[in-house]
Each structure stands twice: as C-alpha cells, then as structure tokens.
Amino acid sequence: MLEIGTKAPDFTLKDKDRKEVSLSDFLGKKVVLYFYPKDNTPGCTRQACAFAETYEEFKSKNFEVIGISKDSVASHVKFAEKYALPFVLLSDPERKAIEAYGVWQEKKMCGKVSMGVVRTTFIIDESGNISEIMPKVKPDTNAQEILDKIKM
C-alpha cells in the first residue's frame, strides 16, 4: 500500500496520441493523478468533465491533471474528443500503473463480486512524492475537493 510522503511509482504509458508519457516527465510540477474505471460511463464522464471544467484553475496553480484507466488508446481518443478533455489521458490495458498504485481491487456491485479499478486520486508534489491519497472519491466532487484543499 502506498503512503503519503513516499515516492510515487513511475510509469510510462501511451496517451491518446500514442505518445509515451511518464510520470517523471512532470517533475517540477504538481500532479493530480486520478484512476477511473471506464471511459464513457456516467460516473467517469462526470468526473472527467469536472476536471475539464476546472483544468485552467489547476494549470494556474502549477498542477497537471492525468487520468488513467485500462481502456485502449482508441477509446481515450473518442472519450477526449467527445467531451473536449484538455488533460492527459493514459491507457493502461496491462494494469502496470493501476496495480503499482494499488487501485485494482475487489469490488461489490449489486451483490456481485469482481475485480476492477477503484476510483482513487493521488496528489503528487514537484519532487515526485505522494502528498495526498484520496480513495473511493466521488466523481461529481473530486475535482472541486482537490481545488479546495490546494487553496488552503
């Protein structure tokens, strides 16, 4: 289990343009790294749109926003275009980052147990250390909660 103050696991994944992006590319900036279950589902769409609506505010505070799911690059392209998402979306079909961050977990829905991505957000400081872990976040309020925290 990852802890606040520890080094965030680095990763290299493809973005919607098939370009390889590593967490270490963002050293010197703060990063909101959020893991979500699936493109184009109601909760994930609301969460992504909330980050899109507040993206300029994050940028003005030297934060980069990165969303990761196990969806394909092609799925991310459609998702980003459909909702005009201005931030980085990374594809992790092999679950390398998803598992490194411990967000691949057992989930229960309607009495059915399955494995999946638990919606979790990490805030990473300019040195690449985890400064905040927000497990099981709510898609509608996640972006604003982070902005409220960083305004303090």
**Which positions are annotated as active-site residues?**
44
Closest CA to 90 of 33, 15, 25, 17: 15
3-state secondary structure of 107: strand
DSSP secondary structure string, 110-126?
A: TTEEEEEE--EEEEE-T
Alpha carbons 17 and 62: distance in angstroms, whole number? 23
